[in-house]
């Protein structure tokens, strides 16, 4: 009987190791402010990293595509139910995390009979005053909030490095093109940290440069801004903006 708590702790530790190993090759998603709102983007071999959740809220995901989709749908349902029962102004990232998805993820992770979610989430919001907020959530329900941008990645060392580098730059003063260029450079540099840290044969299949990433993978991105030609706060990055970014990296 006295061994049971230790067995549970050992099982939870094993789950951490299992999920971290599965996440290892997940490509980073970055989100930073710029002078008219906020930007969220990432490269991936297949689409499915960036989504709109509600009028002022967007989501980025790293991990198993099925888990990303399941949690995306949960967040969508929560957001629209909250908006219907209360008001659109009451739908915030903090409420969705604190009272919705975080408790569910924590419970799932600690119930060792159930398969854990293989996922990290990035939730971003542009509030009514035009101020951006950035939230990062782990697969075990732990979440953090940031004012000046953040990133998620499969590799924790890469994620921590990106967080440090994002804080060093005045992204909030940049134009959208400048913010895209600087964030793309960080994405590219972060891959070198990963290859130094993890000698994996699958690394041979990864793009060797930012130009190869443009050619081989999809760039997904979106901005949240009130300075738009439409009423929508959320809009995907345009093809023209992507081409300008690609040209700047030649």
Q: Is residue 215 part of a domain?
A: yes
Looking at residue 25, its pLDDT comes to 85
User: Of 85, 82, 86, which Cα lies nearest the Cα of 54?
Assistant: 82
Under a CB-based contact definition with an 8 Å cutoff, are residues 209 and 188 in contact? yes
Output the six-digit token pair for 87. Answer: 């008001």
Under a CB-based contact definition with an 8 Å cutoff, are residues 155 and 24 in contact? yes
Our count of domains for the chain comes to 1
Residues 227, 176: Cα–Cα separation, whole Å? 12
Q: Is residue 174 part of a domain?
A: yes
Q: Is residue 51 part of a domain?
A: yes
Backbone angles phi, psi at 123, to 5 degrees: -115, 130
* pTM (predicted TM-score): 0.90
pLDDT in tens, 46-79: 888 999 999 899 999 999 999 999 999 999 999 9
Looking at residue 161, its pLDDT comes to 96
Looking at residue 202, its pLDDT comes to 56
Looking at residue 227, its pLDDT comes to 82
CA angle, 142 as apex, 139 and 147 as ends, to 5°? 115
Residues 133, 58: Cα–Cα separation, whole Å? 11
Looking at residue 203, its pLDDT comes to 61
Q: Which residues of the chain have pLDDT under 50?
A: 1-2, 201
Q: Is residue 4 part of a domain?
A: no
DSSP secondary structure letter of residue 140:
T
Q: Is residue 10 part of a domain?
A: no
Q: Is residue 149 part of a domain?
A: yes
Looking at residue 201, its pLDDT comes to 47
Q: Is residue 5 part of a domain?
A: no
Q: Is residue 20 part of a domain?
A: no
Under a CB-based contact definition with an 8 Å cutoff, are residues 177 and 216 in contact? no
Domain that holds residue 212: 29-248
β-strand partners of 136: 122, 144
Looking at residue 2, its pLDDT comes to 45
CATH code at 99? 3.60.20.10
């Amino acid at each position: 009987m006295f061994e049971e708590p230790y067995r549970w702790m050992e099982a939870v530790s094993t789950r951490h190791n299992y999920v971290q190993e599965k996440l290892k090759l997940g490509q980073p998603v970055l989100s930073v402010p710029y002078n008219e709102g906020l930007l969220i983007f990432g490269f991936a071999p297949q689409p499915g990293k960036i989504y709109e959740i509600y009028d002022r809220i967007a989501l980025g995901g790293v991990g198993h595509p099925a888990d990303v989709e399941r949690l995306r749908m949960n967040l969508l349902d929560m957001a629209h139910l909250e908006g219907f029962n209360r008001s659109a102004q009451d739908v915030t990232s903090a409420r969705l995390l604190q009272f919705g998805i975080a408790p569910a993820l924590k419970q799932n992770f600690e119930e060792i009979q159930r398969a854990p979610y293989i996922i990290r989430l990035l939730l971003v919001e542009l509030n009514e005053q035009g101020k951006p907020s950035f939230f990062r959530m782990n697969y075990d329900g732990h979440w953090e909030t940031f004012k000046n941008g953040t990133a998620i990645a499969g590799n924790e060392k890469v994620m921590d490095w990106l967080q440090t580098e994002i804080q060093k730059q005045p992204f909030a003063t940049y134009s959208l093109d400048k913010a895209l260029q600087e964030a793309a450079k960080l994405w590219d540099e972060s891959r070198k940290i990963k290859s130094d840290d993890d000698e994996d044969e699958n690394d041979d299949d990864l793009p060797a440069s930012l130009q190869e990433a443009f050619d081989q993978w999809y760039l997904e991105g979106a901005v949240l801004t009130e300075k738009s030609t439409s009423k929508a706060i959320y809009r995907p990055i345009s093809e023209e903006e992507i081409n300008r970014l690609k040209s700047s990296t030649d």
